[in-house]
Amino acid sequence: MTTMQVARVHGPGDVRLDDVTVPKPGPRDVVVRVEACGICGSDLGYIALGGTGAPLSEPMPIGHEFAGIVEWVGTDVRDVQPGLRVAVNPDDRNIGNGGLEGAMARFILVPDAKIGSSLYPVPAHVAPELAALAEPLSVALHGINLVDVKPDDKVAVIGAGPIGLSAVVMLRHRGVKNIVIIDREDSRLARARALGAETTINASTGSITEMLAKAHGEGTRLGHRHVDTDVFIDAAGAPPALADVIAIAKFRARISVIALYKKPCAVDLFKMMMNEIMLIGSIALGRHAEFGEAVDMIVAGEINLAPMISHHIPFEQFNEAIDTARDAANSAKVMLEFV
């Protein structure tokens, strides 16, 4: 095979499978044969926006949640041999996130490849689609770490999409038991329960304040009611939901924003100041240790991750896979598979 197809964004709403030359490794690179690549909400955002928001000088390749088998190795690469099964951390070269490579293709060049930096070995018993989950799981773990979640914390996850579900998994992995997740779709909440959420709240059926108060307890401070949730993980990216969280958060509650907000939103800084609320954003860079921890958790098989993946779709049905991922009410993680 000398050519292959790769998914590239050409402009707003314009994503195509382009024919390109199969990559060859430079001295410090490897080429990975992709076995599975998840479709992320940011991929859909790049398609809608026409890239990262900056002008495109050439089409932008996408795909950053992937696992596969090392096919070719550069002459200066050490400790890596062809045939090694790996999950790949895309951060170092912005793979699929504005860089020169994207993993929605049969082969991908991983520049300056190193074990424990970009490459994480995966044993043969781990299915490639599970190994590909290391990327979203480590995104969630990074956001969890930023707000220093402890096992006895009461945690509420806002949004039961793939990152919200990843947060539930990694909270369980860290020993947190009191996990509430909030969404508007019963099917998504069912997945969260299967992954270990203790309590699920359908925000369309009643007051979030009342339901969180029942799950986590409540109190008052300076005449204002609050819920006793210690940590909120925002995986929804919905300004009204964030406003509701700040309105009901207790003194020194911590809020980690992992969600992608596509527009600016108003924040009640008076409420944040009066209650010393921590609000921090999480872009999940510099997460080598967290990526490795996610891989180790997957390999150990301590949590059944199957409920995270709603669809397995061959790469040849790329457009169908993208349409399926856009249907958030009826999909979770959509996995492109290469056979």
Q: What is the pLDDT of residue 227?
A: 98
Q: Which domains does the chain have, with CATH numbers?
A: 3-133+305-337 (3.90.180.10), 136-281 (3.40.50.720)
Reported pTM: 0.95
Per-residue pLDDT tens over the stretch 209-244: 999 999 999 999 999 999 999 999 999 999 999 999
Cβ contacts of residue 81 below 8 Å, gap of 6+?
Answer: 70, 73
Torsion angle, CA of 56/58/62/68, rounded to 10 degrees? -150
Tell me, what's the pLDDT at 30?
98
- Token representation of residue 302: 């301590």
Q: Please, what sign has the CA dihedral across residues 103, 107, 112, 117?
A: positive
pLDDT digits (tens, 9 = 90+) for 85-115: 999 999 999 999 999 999 999 999 999 999 9
Whole-angstrom Cα distance, residue 13 to residue 282? 26
Maximal C-alpha separation, the chain: 70
Please tell me the distance from the alpha carbon of residue 9 to that of residue 244, in angstroms, as a whole number.
Answer: 35
**Below-50 pLDDT ranges, the chain:** none
d(CA 180, CA 199): 5
199 with 180: CB under 8 angstroms? yes
Name the residue type at position 150: K
Q: Which pLDDT does position 179 carry in this prediction?
A: 98
pLDDT of residue 53: 86
Q: Which residue has the tokens 């098989």?
A: 301
